[in-house]
Structure 1
Amino acid sequence: MTEHVSRRGFLKVLGLGGAGLFLPGTVEAAQRGEELATLLDISRCVGCGECVYACRESNGHKYPRPEKPFPPMYPKRVKVSDWSDRQDVDDRLTPYNWLFIQNAEVEHEGEVHDLNIPRRCMHCQNPPCANLCPWGACSREENGIVRINDDICLGGSKCKSVCPWDIPQRQTGVGLYKKLLPRFAGNGVMYKCDRCFERVAQGELPACIEVCPEGVQTIGPRDAIVKKAHELAESMNGFIYGEHENGGTNTLYVSPVPFDKLDKAVEKGPGRPGLELVPDMMNDEENLAMAAVLAPVAGLAAGVLGLGAALTKEDDDAE
């Protein structure tokens, strides 16, 4: 896809006054398919929600459209996860809300900070969700984007259980499972931020970055983003999150207060990830062994399921 990336696509956003939205070399790196990362300066975020709305508008065509009633599941303990009647929820991650804003009021060195933190997928460099998906439905691209193929995802939720932040969210009643094993598969599809991979492939900025009126986010080659994060942190005597968490991510935050304080202050729970220190999940011996076993199986499964999805689509189109 990277051959489609154009300088014009990235440069056209400068009309919004966003010269700081991407770093020098971003276009060239994108054209070469190199790893891109984003930097979020949370000291600048005012919590306006423009990024949330832009994400919904840009990605709404990807959202699930479940058919009801849902097939009964076996065993019965398999739970239905249905957000189709709650699509307006925007204070947590859902299959219809891939980005939300956390708020934290923190006292640090005698000063009270009221901070807003845009949260979405961290796009890890060595993502356990991609390494441990038994069906090969989740993958990491060369440009650093981690995304789920909704054509072959069976909703088994392995990606969520191995994600340190529990990012992916499931919607029941959609996906290939209804055609293959409607009572025994994972009962849906997992959804999360895919960093607007289609826009990036066309040389455009992710929607959340493009619309931000405060210039909170910057995208660029990861090495350059890490360097900028350190410069920014030094300028505010601040702190970095995401450089090393889970072995390193392509979403880096810079904050004027320590992230352990933010972690204690933000509301956590289902769909609301924390900001705790996270070890590299893929350094775990059990996960490493599982990844080695799953790699060839997942590749084969992805091919078979992809063929099944294509044939199913042909049948649907013929009806």
Structure 2
Amino acid sequence: MVKAILYLGNRCIGCRSCQVACKRWNELEAEKTELSQTWTNPPSLSAYTWNVILMNPLTDEKGFNIHFATLRCMHCKEPVCAAVCPVRAIYKDADTGAIVINSERCVGCLACVELCPFRIPKFAPGVGSAKCRFCIDRLKLGLKPACVQACPTEALTIDDREKIVELAKRWAGETKGYIYGLEEAGGTNVIMVLTAPPEKLGLPRVEKKSYLSSQAVQEAASLAATVSTMQQATETLKNISPGLLLAAGIGGIIALRMNRSKGQAEAVKAA
């Protein structure tokens, strides 16, 4: 059964236990970091930091308050990153709905980085593209994701997606909260109920539709399919130059960027 994580902003206290748990379980390297102007630390995601709690001091008719949100992979129901990866280093797990990157297969074309509507995957030399894996290894063992397990206030919950959707709607209705992730990018498996509008909390502004039909994504996906076929032929026949794969990938990405810069392709909205 496909799973989903629910994040409740009014239960989050910004303790960052989820960030620490993610680092420890996935054995991610420590980074030199600094507080942002809003006390978010580290300021954003990286190839070594897959989950960040955003802290947002806001003043409204109710006065001053600090609002929280979580920045992480949303695990889209229709993942653009998987569609555009030319070497099929990104896949969607049918059992859990997790979107997983095999960084060892990554060739650094940056297609996933450029075209993710949430701008989540991050690239680092020697690592490849990286992001939250939904703790798929823990899920396969019947365990909760490390972040969910570590949260002291139960601001994070995991369950079957249908149950999470019902819970999110009920919680939003009772608290007059803002739902994020239910319809964005065609729907995701990370759903948030926030205490302020998502755009005020540092979350990407994403349209409530699938991005797979956009021209930019279709062009990249077509290229990815071609390169993947070439790679399979290379592995099978051995007489095709391995450099051809790299050349095709680089050429395709350059062409894609040129099209985007000329306004011929639909631009995927950034935060």
Structure 1 range deviating more: 90-99 or 50-59: 90-99
Change in CA separation of 1:256 and 1:290 when aligned onto 2, cut-off 3 Å: same
Residue 281 (structure 1) aligned with residue 211 (structure 2): yes
Q: CA deviation at 1:282?
A: 1.1
Structure 2: which 5+ residue stretches go unaligned?
A: 34-41, 239-271
Q: Which residue of 1 aligns with 2:24?
A: 57
Match for residue 161 of structure 1 among 95, 111, 114? 114
Kept after mapping to 2: 8 A contact 1:42/1:116 = yes
CA distance in 1 between partners of 2:148 and 2:123 (Å): 25
CA distance in 1 between partners of 2:64 and 2:142 (Å): 40
Residue 130 (structure 1) aligned with residue 97 (structure 2): no
Q: CA deviation at 1:109?
A: 4.5
Q: Which residue of 2 aligns with 1:261?
A: 200
Residue 38 (structure 1) aligned with residue 11 (structure 2): no
Change in CA separation of 1:196 and 1:88 when aligned onto 2, cut-off 3 Å: farther
Could you state the TM-score of these two structures normalised by the residue count of structure 2?
A: 0.76
Could you state the TM-score of these two structures normalised by the residue count of structure 1?
A: 0.65
Q: CA deviation at 1:164?
A: 1.4
- Provide runs of 4+ in structure 1 moved above 6 Å: 302-305
Q: Which residue of 1 aligns with 2:103?
A: 150
Q: CA deviation at 1:258?
A: 2.2
Match for residue 239 of structure 1 among 153, 167, 178? 178
**How many residue pairs are counted as aligned between the two chains?**
226
Query: Secondary structure at the residue paired with 1:226?
Result: helix
Change in CA separation of 1:277 and 1:158 when aligned onto 2, cut-off 3 Å: closer
Q: Which residue of 2 aligns with 1:209?
A: 148
Query: Secondary structure at the residue paired with 1:121?
Result: coil
Q: Which residue of 1 aligns with 2:39?
A: none
Q: CA deviation at 1:297?
A: 4.5
Structure 1: which 5+ residue stretches go unaligned?
A: 1-33, 64-83, 175-187, 267-273, 309-319
Q: CA deviation at 1:171?
A: 1.5
RMSD: 2.4
Q: CA deviation at 1:283?
A: 2.4
Q: Deviations over 1:271-303 (max 9, x none)?
A: xxx332335321214423543563474377479
Change in CA separation of 1:296 and 1:198 when aligned onto 2, cut-off 3 Å: farther
CA distance in 2 between partners of 1:293 and 1:248 (Å): 25
Letter in 2 for 1:92: S
Q: Which residue of 1 aligns with 2:252?
A: none
Kept after mapping to 2: 8 A contact 1:238/1:257 = yes
CA distance in 1 between partners of 2:234 and 2:143 (Å): 33
Query: Secondary structure at the residue paired with 2:212?
Result: helix
CA distance in 2 between partners of 1:151 and 1:127 (Å): 20
Match for residue 104 of structure 1 among 51, 56, 64? 56
Change in CA separation of 1:124 and 1:228 when aligned onto 2, cut-off 3 Å: same
CA distance in 2 between partners of 1:226 and 1:302 (Å): 40
CA distance in 2 between partners of 1:191 and 1:277 (Å): 21
